[in-house]
Chain A
Amino acid sequence: MEKQKSAMTGKSKPVRTRKAIVVGRPLEVAETARLNAITQQCNGPSETLAPKVRQQTPAVGQRAPRPDGRLHGLGETKYIDDMSFPGMLYCKIKRAGIASALIRRIDTREAEAMPGVMAIITGKDIPVNSFGPSIADQPVLAFERVFHAGDGVAAVAAVTEQIALDALEMIKVEYEALPAVFDPAEAMKDGAPKVHPPSSNIYASRLIKKGDVQKGFRDSYRIFENTYSTQMVEHVPIEPHCSIAAWDSNGRLTIHSTLGRITLGRTDIARTLQLPINRIRLVATIVGGNFGGKNEITQEPALAVLSRRTGRPVKGTFTRTEEFTATTTRHPVVMRYKTGVSKEGKILARKVHLVLDGGAYCSWSETTLGKACILSPGPYNIDNVHSEAFVVYTNKTMTGAMRGFGAPQVCFAYESQMDEIAEALNIDPLEIRMRNAFTEGSSSPTGQVLHSVVVRESLVQAAERYGWKEARK
């Protein structure tokens, strides 16, 4: 009764009383009491975690607590790095540290002779040493050529992580430095060093055309032109990339992995290892943060080959540094916007030019390019649109999928320009958006008739919640 009361009033006193009671009790009782106390804390005071919500029907619309929430809270969730298997080895990868080079020689003899080092492999040991969701331009381990400083060139399996790290120091790699290019604008020029010769550095483009922008600009009362740019950022999941590969005696491979997309990851692993798909099992648990960064394989084929060589399970866990240098990142984008408007602030024409820094490999760049291009005019009714986007190789860390696929970048550009237009025409920023925003049945830049459109409703609701129209000091 008292417990229920406390749940209603939100006071936490009974929890403290319980803690006091459990002192000196047998372990089991104490443990039960502790769990009860934690449960009570989780389910009790908060209004949003109404007791028994998970037992109610109908199910949709309920603020049902997550079944995994309790496990997280109690520290019971097993992430991949929490797992361990008998005889398991640890893998570390030697990173190039040079952005563009030919690999002349990799000497692993000294490292191999170290006690505790069980196997070392290079790119030549991966049956098909390439992968990528749309263009298979990424090696599992760079061989013959290095495309960015974070490329792996050799992988070591050792009985401890420390021995594996020490072995990396003993691997000798001879490089012949090649010209490199880091700025996408430079990379687009004729005569720029080619990142993946003989391919052009511009590896994908997209064009969206609707109406006649030139006519739109001619009819415009004012034209606004500006360039916006964004930076490279990392997903920074709390859990780094981690996988464990092990084979059974029937030649079946099991990989426990932090990969977020297991069925497609399995396809890539089958291709790189030249294995039938039914001989691969990919098991994940709960990904400790993905945000697009765990959408494709990284070290898994190398771990599988090392495990095959040694006959023992092999685990690889990326360091925080590797999370930055050897996994995908968000595309920096340079965005040129030219917008023509009427006196009333109605957008008549918009021309957009986007250059995405693709880094060393394609990864999910084509998707990012497409979404950025399609979304770049913003959620506005514009009859005349011309949006052109290019993604360019540079000798930097590869860019790929990241929460928003180019949308946060173009939103920064189109919404900055919207406010510039509003100020110049002396129109309230909310009002100018209301005048231009999509409504039910609007036609998108690709000519798609849009349904369940509530951009105006969201504008009004946010403005009301904020108190946009109320006078401020």
Chain B
Amino acid sequence: MKKRGRGIACMWYPIGFTVAANPSAAVVKVNEDGTAIVLTGTVETGQGSLTVLGQIAAEELGIAPDDVHVVSADTDTTPMDTGAIASRTTYVTGNAVRFAAAKAKELLFQVAAPMLGVKPEQLEARDRRIQVKNYPQRNIGIGEAAHQAQFAMGQPALGSASFNPATVALDPETGQGKPFATYVYATQIADVDVDDETGEVQVLRVVASHDCGVAINPMLVEGQIEGGISMGVGFALHEEMLFDTSGRQLNPNLTNYIMPTSLDMPEIEIDIVKNFEPTGPFGAKGVGEPTAVPTAAAIMNAVYDAVGARVYSLPATSEKVLAAINAAKTKQLPTPRQKRIAAR
């Protein structure tokens, strides 16, 4: 018989490397028509990082995402980057891109200030225009300023910058220190069905509430969360590399190494927690890895809630779940669900 259960798990996860320097550098070039090119040494790994970096540059320059082209992944042309690791791209590379764009913008402001009859610090860049703060009617197009900078002043608008998260080394005796600049937080709640005759677990629904600071692109954050949950489902229930007694792998193929498919995926409901990280680019932190962190824990708590049997080693295969159910039956303890119902 199928038994329904629910489980909750929360987590924390850091952004960037543990104390070790993990810098990113970036170059932003504003073209003479007001569009821009970003150079970054990170590599797109399918998560949409280049889109996010483009949006960050666009925000700083007051232009639109489509006005920015991001060049990446060529050591001959792009600057140093620690890469897409440790959930660091939005925070670390994002900051580098933002600061590089700010430098290019500064040059544009120096050109635009005399044209508008004000000082550079009185200017802001918005909606593809450079305008006087609190007096937006007084403005010039960013393309006009960029053209002027390059062809009249002979000073093309470009900037480069780097960023490295602020950390403090850990004390070797006590481990006390500041290993990371910032952390993100999340909660996931899973609904499962457990067949108490076969031990089979089906994940029906996962509610995921994740902090990433300000979401530079909420759609990409949602994509990360869905992908992370799929990895979490595999980690909880299916995936395991097996070795024989002489250390050779038994299942190095996708026939016998069982990954979740779309048929195993639960319904996913996502919330992005409202937050602002002052040290991040426009308040952003990151979201890549943490999405895969609490899923297995939530699923396993839901399995316990359903059948009153806890599995202490992952993956919770049907065999392990069934063995745990049988062990719990001999103790004849009520499940948490039965207790809740009894309490009402």
Contact = CB atoms under 8 A, between A and B. Distances in A.
Contacts of B298: 415
B73 A262 contact: yes
A128 interface: no
Given A263-B81, A375-B13, A281 B76 contact: yes
Interface in B165-194: 170, 173-180, 182-183, 185-189
Interface in B221-240: 228, 231-232, 234-235, 239-240
A459 B76 CA distance: 46
Interface stretch (B107-115, B131-139, B151-159, B208-216): B208-216
* Size bracket, chain A contacts: 35 or more
A408 B231 CA distance: 10
Contacts of A55: 64-66
A461 B209 contact: yes
Interface string A4-44: 00000000000000000000000000000000000000000
Interface in A299-332: 320-321, 323-325, 329-330
Contacts of B312: 226-229, 416
A146 to B, nearest CB: 10
A416 B208 CA distance: 18
A189 interface: no
B64 A261 contact: no
A438 B182 CA distance: 14
Contacts of B219: 48, 63-65
A170 B23 CA distance: 46
B242 to A, nearest CB: 9
B18 A370 contact: yes
A234 interface: yes
Nearest to A447: B176
Given A447-B177, A461-B273, A455 B185 contact: yes
B301 A419 contact: yes
A280 B75 CA distance: 8
B296 A446 contact: no
Contacts of A465: 207, 209, 269, 271
B11 interface: yes
Interface string B244-278: 01111101111001010000000001010111111
Contact of B241 (A64, A232, A259): A232
Interface string A35-59: 0000000000000100001111111
A301 to B, nearest CB: 16
Contacts, number: 383
A234 B242 CA distance: 11
Given A229-B313, A287-B43, A416-B297, A468 B189 contact: yes
A210 B13 contact: no
Contact of A407 (B13, B59, B73, B185): B13
Given A180-B246, A260-B84, A446-B176, A371 B18 contact: yes
Nearest to A59: B58
A62 interface: yes
Given A284-B43, A284-B73, A458-B273, A408 B18 contact: no
B296 A325 contact: no
B304 A408 contact: no
Nearest to B129: A57
A454 B275 contact: yes
Contacts of B10: 378-379, 415, 433, 437, 455, 458-459
Interface string A423-456: 1000001100100011000001111101111110
A291 B235 CA distance: 14
Contact of A210 (B11, B176, B240): B176
A203 interface: no
A210 B177 CA distance: 11
Given A62-B217, A261-B83, A465-B271, A209 B174 contact: yes
B138 to A, nearest CB: 18
Contact of B170 (A415, A446, A466): A446
Contact of B8 (A150, A378, A430): A430
Interface string B313-344: 11100000000000000000000100010001
B293 A408 contact: yes
Contacts of A234: 239, 241, 257
A46 to B, nearest CB: 10
Contacts of B248: 97, 99, 149
A459 B176 contact: no
Contacts of A231: 239-241, 313-315
Interface stretch (A137-145, A159-167, A393-401): A393-401
A260 B239 contact: no
Contacts of A447: 176-177
Contact of B252 (A320, A379, A420): A320
A463 interface: yes
A325 B18 contact: no
Contacts of B189: 462-463, 466, 468
25 contacts: A54-B64, A57-B64, A59-B58, A63-B217, A64-B217, A229-B312, A261-B85, A264-B82, A288-B46, A374-B14, A407-B293, A412-B297, A412-B314, A414-B297, A419-B7, A429-B8, A446-B175, A446-B176, A451-B278, A452-B211, A452-B276, A452-B278, A453-B185, A458-B185, A462-B207
Given A63-B217, A452-B285, A465-B209, 16 more contacts: A55-B66, A61-B215, A66-B51, A228-B313, A260-B84, A262-B83, A286-B46, A325-B249, A405-B86, A408-B292, A414-B297, A415-B10, A416-B297, A457-B185, A457-B211, A462-B207
Interface of B: 6-14, 17-18, 20, 41, 43-46, 48, 50-51, 54-56, 58-59, 62-66, 68, 72-76, 80-86, 126-128, 170, 173-180, 182-183, 185-189, 207-211, 213-220, 228, 231-232, 234-235, 239-241, 243, 245-249, 251-254, 257, 259, 269, 271, 273-278, 282, 285, 288-290, 292-298, 300-301, 304, 310, 312-315, 336, 340, 344
